[in-house]
Amino acid sequence: MLTAIVLGAIVANVVPAARLEWARPGLGIAGRRLLRAGVVLLGLQLVLADIFALGWPIVIGVVVIVGGTMAITLLLGRVLRVGATQSLLIAGGFSICGAAAVAGIDGVLTKRKDAEAATAVALVVIFGTLMIAVMPALAAWLGLDPRTAGIWTGASTHEVAQVVAAAGIIGPDALKVAVVVKLARVLMLAPVLAVISFRQRAEGTVEGGKRPPLVPLFVAGFVAMVVLRSTGVVPAMVVDAAKVAQNWLLAAAMFALGTSVHWTVIRRAGRRPLLLAVLATLVVLAIGGAVAALSR
């Protein structure tokens, strides 16, 4: 998915906009419908038993990480006078699961701007990539044991792929824990999207007099897939096939989002979203570190 974002951004910045017009309908489908299908299949990669095996302190800690990071980032966004939607996209991406969370939140918003989603995606990719070097360095500097380092890495790093890269540098024992902690954060995508959708529904109608659904269909599908996988009835072959399909669907969606990451978009966004991204990273790093320390 990270490669797809980068490729999309390269295309957007190299190919003249006029030559991409023919692809806009397909990119629109990829960025919305294929994204939602990919999020549904993502649920098949989560097993509730693995997450609960971490222990209730860490499970509760994950809720605190996501909720706390989102709340503080939104507050900081107000202080910095960053737009509400832009702040929400950054908060979701940095607290839950990176670009996929940005795209998921963007998918339930009734009033959205492609430039804001593109800015949030670009920022989460940049800062998440930096975390690949930061987390192993912090773990070595502080002399953390593999489990604590894994918990902190999974609790603080933005993308699943970035968690795998960072924890893999620390070691295999850290990697096992980090991935499960990260997947617990991914699971928080469902309630967060449901809350956002509920708030939008409460605020009134959208164009055409229609109200957004109480719970988006793809969010319900995501939860259904998590429950189905957790029952143990899904064959490993099906899970593997779903993972391949999920990767391609989300990669297509990320490429579509990447085509919105034009250098002029980042320039127009200004310094405030960039500063908010820096602060959001520090917030999730601090809360994640606290959760990791308390789990020792």
**pLDDT category of residue 241 using cuts at 50, 70 and 90:** very high
Mean pLDDT of 219-238: 89
Phi, psi of 287 (to 5 degrees): -65, -45
Q: What pLDDT score was predicted for residue 20?
A: 81
pLDDT (mean) for 90-114: 83
How far is CA 160 from each of CA 111, 178, 235, rounded to the nearest angstrom?
Answer: 28, 9, 23
Q: What are the pLDDT digits (tens) for 248-261? A: 988 888 788 778 76
Q: What's residue 54's pLDDT?
A: 85
Q: Which residue has the higher pLDDT, 262 or 116?
A: 116
Distances (CA, A) of 241 to 3, 61, 176, 277: 21, 32, 22, 35
pLDDT score for 207? 47
pLDDT in tens, 205-220: 444 445 555 566 777 8
Supply the DSSP symbol for 233: -
pLDDT band at 179; cut points 50, 70, 90: confident
pLDDT confidence of residue 205: 46
pLDDT above 80 for 37 = yes
- The mean pLDDT value for 87-91 works out to 94
| Whole-number average pLDDT of the chain | 85
Residue 126 — very low, low, confident or very high, per pLDDT cuts 50/70/90?
Answer: confident
pTM: 0.77
Give the mean model confidence (pLDDT) for residues 133-152: 94
Q: What percent of the chain has pLDDT over 70?
A: 91
Q: What's the rounded Cα separation, in Å, for the pair 153 and 155?
A: 5
Q: How confident is the model at residue 233 (pLDDT cuts 50, 70, 90)?
A: very high
Q: How many helices (H) and strands (E) does the chain have?
A: 16, 0
State residue 116's pLDDT score.
86
User: 134-168: b or e for each residue (b if 16 or more CB lie within 10 Å)?
Assistant: bbbebbeeeebebbbbbbbbbbbbbbbbbbbbbbb
3-state secondary structure at position 98: coil
Q: What is the pLDDT of residues 57-71, one digit of tens each?
A: 899 999 999 999 999
Per-residue pLDDT, 222: 82
Residue 272 CA to residue 293 CA, distance in Å, equals 31
Domain ranges of the chain: 24-294
Q: Which residue has the higher pLDDT, 38 or 283?
A: 283
**Closest to 199 measured CA to CA, from 219, 220, 218, 214:** 214
Q: Residue 231: which residues within 8 A CB-CB, separation 6 or more?
A: none
Whether 185 shows a pLDDT value over 60: the answer reads: yes
Whole-number pLDDT of residue 70: 96
With pLDDT > 90 as the criterion, what percentage of the chain qualifies? 34
Lowest average pLDDT, out of 55-59, 107-111, 245-249, goes to 107-111
- Band of pLDDT at residue 202, cut at 50, 70 and 90: low
